[in-house]
Structures are given as structure tokens and as C-alpha cells.
Amino acid sequence: MIICICRRINDQGVQAAIEAGARSPEAVQAHHGCEFNCGKCRNTMGEMISESVDAMPANIPLVAAE
Ligand code: FES
């Protein structure tokens, strides 16, 4: 499914950017070497980032309190 019509970025492209570390719609665009044109895809990308990051396992090391 196309997410960004202007830059022809589909959902797999957004997901690939997220897996590479993109945590903002701007970072997704940068991952693909472009910038926003109309910006209508910004909210959808943000939602995809939030959902993906929420689903990721936490890699925060636990430290015992003293
Ligand atoms: S739809 Fe993404 S910049 Fe226009």
C-alpha cells in the first residue's frame, strides 16, 4: 500500500526505515533520500512508527536499586 504518494514510499518502505532506526516521519523520508512535499503522509507514518515501536521488545537493561 502506498503511504507517500509524492515520494512513492509504500508501507514496506516505511517499515524498512523504522527497522533501520527511523523514529519520525522526517527520518523515514530521509531514509529514502527525500523530504516531504505535501506532507499528507506525515500522520500515517507517525502512526506506523508508534505502532511499530510499541510492539518492539524493550531492550532496556534493568539495574538493581540500592
Ligand atoms: S504524500 Fe508524502 S509528501 Fe505528499
Examine residue 25 and state whether it is found in any structural domain, yes or no.
yes
Whether 66 is covered by a domain: the verdict is no
Residue 63 is assigned to a structural domain of this protein:
no
What is the pTM (predicted TM-score) of this model? 0.85
Structural domain for 28, as ranges: 2-55
Q: Ligand 1 pocket, 8 CB below 6 A?
A: no
CATH of the domain at 26: 1.10.10
> Has residue 47 been placed in a domain?
yes
Please indicate whether residue 45, judged by its CB atom, sits closer than 6 Å to ligand 1: no
Q: What is the 3-state secondary structure (H, E, C) of the chain?
A: CEEECCCCEEHHHHHHHHHCCCCCHHHHHHHCCCCCCCCCCHHHHHHHHHHHHHHCCCCCCCCCCC
Q: Which of 1-5, 12-16, 56-60 has the lowest average pLDDT?
A: 56-60
Ligand 1, residue 37: give the atom nearest the CA. Answer: 3
CA angle 24, 36, 23 (to 5 degrees): 10
Task: Report the pLDDT value the prediction gives residue 21, as an integer from 0 to 100.
Answer: 96
- pLDDT reported for residue 57: 83
Evaluate whether residue 65 is within a structural domain: no
Assigned domain for 43 exists? yes
pLDDT at 60: 67
- pLDDT computed for residue 32 by the predictor: 98
Overall domain count for the chain: 1
pLDDT at 53: 92
What Rg value do the Cα atoms of the chain yield, rounded? 14
In tens, the pLDDT along 17-50 reads: 999 999 999 999 999 999 999 999 999 999 999 9
